[in-house]
Chain A
């Protein structure tokens, strides 16, 4: 049993990180009934923005750049956690405004639009930052490793997991404890009625899309030091997010979190026995669960199926 502990812990950490990627995606699917295939590109964009902000040459006027570089890396990293998602949020805002034309049509069009956006963003990233791999520097206090039970553990992984857990908690608070959360949930349930009650649905949708985008970018920054930064990183991240949403049930917060942890554990534990095939385990898990429970773990009947 003790041999499995590292794999179990790695699985849990992976699960938390996957949950972070999946939550923004889930909010957008849940409220707007749109699959945002650009989620992965926005995830990557967040990481690249953070790379620029923490890097040695920020694209600012010289005086500003000098002032910015005076901050220690830790402070710049902390500020990047806030600024980069905001920048990605602006991109997300532009996407949502384009997407308005597809509302009320087949959800296929929204999916295709975001697929096109994903292609464009990936190429923009290639043009701006090249195809090579980058490394996002992390503050001294968070990097390095420590030895526990005769094994070397990466410190940053645990910081990342803690940040992920904190963000998940904040998202839960927003959804469950604020009037905005109530509006979002009501909008997912019956958008006509929400509009009839005098809530500006198009503003709400814009807000949710930007919020989802910011979560994606934040996930990108938190995960970048572990997975590395490359133009293709978005696709690697977004596919598990799709699986998690189906596995957990569309529109279910705890479903998404539970499914993420389950997927993380499945990948982590199968990595203990057959590391080559560990990625396959999450797909098999999905097929197994969905064959028995058609709407995922916590899914309810959704308008999306009609």
Chain B
């Protein structure tokens, strides 16, 4: 037990391993029958799911309206590009800011809420944002969506990269994913993250210890909103357009589903696992039958019933059982030796 515990590190071995593995994806993705764009989708949704898990897994707040923040970010990316400046960084900043502002507005109304009331209020707010985006034809293009969003070049001052093809876009999004994972990992394992975990366990107790629970909840919603908006901006750039359907209740439910399938309640990496499983099974089962949601939905029901902690939870359980078995067999061995 030497060295710093992994929770205190800026970059953990798992993180590094994940990045390296993800960096090799374009080399073999075509060989296994998939295509590079799904990699972009997986990374963007992973950032979104990690941001969402800050609210659900870390703080225990069941949000069913997170699609609104993702969608607002997507629209903000396009609108900044058209009306402010066609610079990648400014547009992404705009997306993150828009997500944060939307989250701030929502947060003011829901931060003193808990449990089912919180969930129902987030559904209501998700629907408000969805309705506005569908009906505001002049700004968002309504159901037709906001089209002709460009994949802007990555301008680093001295050099500028073009990311219009999917592989280079993938590497750019991977870099953004790496930055996001470092920031979110630090946040979850900071003193601030500890207080969020305390709020998840008992809001009343945390309040009695003297913490301003309302402010912590509001701030975590805003931070999650900023990251979700940022992911939404990347998504708009990846699909070159922004549509209202990512904001509706079913799509907001999907991010909850991905996070839980992966095991977001017990593991930092759970949401990423969930996104990978979800998107790949969408493509694999979807190529075989158009009713793929039937099979995925049934799988999800079984998971909630029998492994409510998701894939990461099942893995941890298996690991523990394996250790216990190992320990008991070695104990038996030493007993027989002493006997």
Interface residues of A (CB under 8 A from B): 29, 33, 35, 37, 98, 101-102, 105, 107-109, 111-113, 115-120, 122-124, 126-127, 235, 239, 242-243, 245-246, 250, 276-277, 279-280, 283-284, 286-287, 290-291, 294-295, 304-306
Chain A to chain B contacts (Cβ below 8 Å), 11 pairs:
A29-B116, A98-B301, A116-B300, A119-B293, A120-B301, A122-B293, A246-B124, A283-B127, A283-B131, A305-B115, A306-B204
Residues in A neighbouring B260, C-beta threshold 8 A: 112
How far is A107 from B114 in the complex, measured between Cα atoms in Å? Answer: 11
Tell me if B115 and A306 are in contact (CB < 8 A).
yes
Interface residues of B (CB under 8 A from A): 62, 109, 112-117, 119-121, 123-125, 127-128, 131-132, 135, 204, 248-250, 253, 256-257, 260, 291, 293-294, 296-298, 300-301, 304-306, 308
- Pick the contact of B294: A120, A239, A276 (CB < 8 A): A120
Tell me if A111 and B124 are in contact (CB < 8 A).
no
Least CB distance from B140 to A in Å reads 14
How far is A86 from B162 in the complex, measured between Cα atoms in Å? Answer: 61
How far is A29 from B109 in the complex, measured between Cα atoms in Å? Answer: 22
Residues in B neighbouring A306, C-beta threshold 8 A: 114-115, 204
Residues in A neighbouring B204, C-beta threshold 8 A: 306
Residues in B neighbouring A101, C-beta threshold 8 A: 305-306
- Pick the contact of B127: A37, A108, A112, A239 (CB < 8 A): A239
Tell me if A115 and B124 are in contact (CB < 8 A).
no
Q: Which residue of the partner chain B has the closest CB to A243?
A: B124
Tell me if A111 and B300 are in contact (CB < 8 A).
no
How far is A112 from B116 in the complex, measured between Cα atoms in Å? Answer: 12
Tell me if B298 and A120 are in contact (CB < 8 A).
yes
Q: Which residue of the partner chain A has the closest CB to B117?
A: A305
Residues in B neighbouring A113, C-beta threshold 8 A: 301, 304-305
Least CB distance from A117 to B in Å reads 6
Residues in A neighbouring B112, C-beta threshold 8 A: 294
Residues in A neighbouring B109, C-beta threshold 8 A: 287, 290-291
Residues in B neighbouring A286, C-beta threshold 8 A: 124
Tell me if B301 and A290 are in contact (CB < 8 A).
no
Tell me if B120 and A276 are in contact (CB < 8 A).
no
Tell me if B115 and A304 are in contact (CB < 8 A).
yes
Least CB distance from B40 to A in Å reads 25
- Pick the contact of B297: A102, A105, A111, A120 (CB < 8 A): A120
Tell me if A127 and B304 are in contact (CB < 8 A).
no
Chain A binding surface SS class: helix
Tell me if A246 and B117 are in contact (CB < 8 A).
yes
Q: Which residue of the partner chain B has the closest CB to A245?
A: B120
- Pick the contact of A107: B115, B131, B249, B308 (CB < 8 A): B115
- Pick the contact of A124: B124, B294, B308 (CB < 8 A): B294
How far is A111 from B56 in the complex, measured between Cα atoms in Å? Answer: 14
Tell me if B119 and A109 are in contact (CB < 8 A).
no
Least CB distance from B281 to A in Å reads 13
- Pick the contact of A123: B128, B248, B293, B308 (CB < 8 A): B293
Candidate in B115, B300, B306 with the most chain A CB atoms within 10 angstroms: B115
Tell me if A280 and B135 are in contact (CB < 8 A).
yes
Least CB distance from B218 to A in Å reads 15
Tell me if A123 and B120 are in contact (CB < 8 A).
no
Q: Which residue of the partner chain B has the closest CB to A296?
A: B117
Tell me if B115 and A280 are in contact (CB < 8 A).
no
Contacts A98-B305, A242-B124; A33 near B291 (Cβ below 8 A): no
How far is A127 from B294 in the complex, measured between Cα atoms in Å? Answer: 9
Contacts A123-B294, A123-B297, A283-B124; A112 near B256 (Cβ below 8 A): yes
Residues in A neighbouring B257, C-beta threshold 8 A: 112, 115-116
How far is A100 from B117 in the complex, measured between Cα atoms in Å? Answer: 22
Q: Which residue of the partner chain B has the closest CB to A280?
A: B131
Residues in A neighbouring B127, C-beta threshold 8 A: 239, 283
Tell me if B132 and A280 are in contact (CB < 8 A).
yes
Residues in B neighbouring A250, C-beta threshold 8 A: 116-117
Residues in A neighbouring B124, C-beta threshold 8 A: 242-243, 246, 283, 286-287
Least CB distance from A300 to B in Å reads 13
Residues in B neighbouring A105, C-beta threshold 8 A: 308
How far is A124 from B300 in the complex, measured between Cα atoms in Å? Answer: 15
Tell me if A127 and B117 are in contact (CB < 8 A).
no
How far is A126 from B289 in the complex, measured between Cα atoms in Å? Answer: 13
How far is A120 from B120 in the complex, measured between Cα atoms in Å? Answer: 22
Least CB distance from B120 to A in Å reads 5
Tell me if B304 and A109 are in contact (CB < 8 A).
yes
How far is A119 from B253 in the complex, measured between Cα atoms in Å? Answer: 10
How far is A245 from B308 in the complex, measured between Cα atoms in Å? Answer: 27
Tell me if A116 and B301 are in contact (CB < 8 A).
yes
Least CB distance from A34 to B in Å reads 9
Tell me if B128 and A115 are in contact (CB < 8 A).
no
Residues in B neighbouring A277, C-beta threshold 8 A: 131, 135
Residues in B neighbouring A243, C-beta threshold 8 A: 120, 124
Candidate in A116, A283, A286 with the most chain B CB atoms within 10 angstroms: A116
Tell me if B293 and A283 are in contact (CB < 8 A).
no
Least CB distance from B83 to A in Å reads 23
Tell me if B304 and A116 are in contact (CB < 8 A).
yes
Least CB distance from B109 to A in Å reads 6
Q: Which residue of the partner chain A has the closest CB to B112?
A: A294
Tell me if A246 and B135 are in contact (CB < 8 A).
no
Residues in B neighbouring A304, C-beta threshold 8 A: 115-117
How far is A237 from B322 in the complex, measured between Cα atoms in Å? Answer: 48
How far is A118 from B304 in the complex, measured between Cα atoms in Å? Answer: 14
Residues in A neighbouring B306, C-beta threshold 8 A: 101
Least CB distance from A126 to B in Å reads 7
Q: Which residue of the partner chain B has the closest CB to A113?
A: B304
Tell me if B305 and A123 are in contact (CB < 8 A).
no
How far is A37 from B62 in the complex, measured between Cα atoms in Å? Answer: 14
Tell me if A239 and B123 are in contact (CB < 8 A).
yes
How far is A277 from B136 in the complex, measured between Cα atoms in Å? Answer: 10
Tell me if A109 and B298 are in contact (CB < 8 A).
no
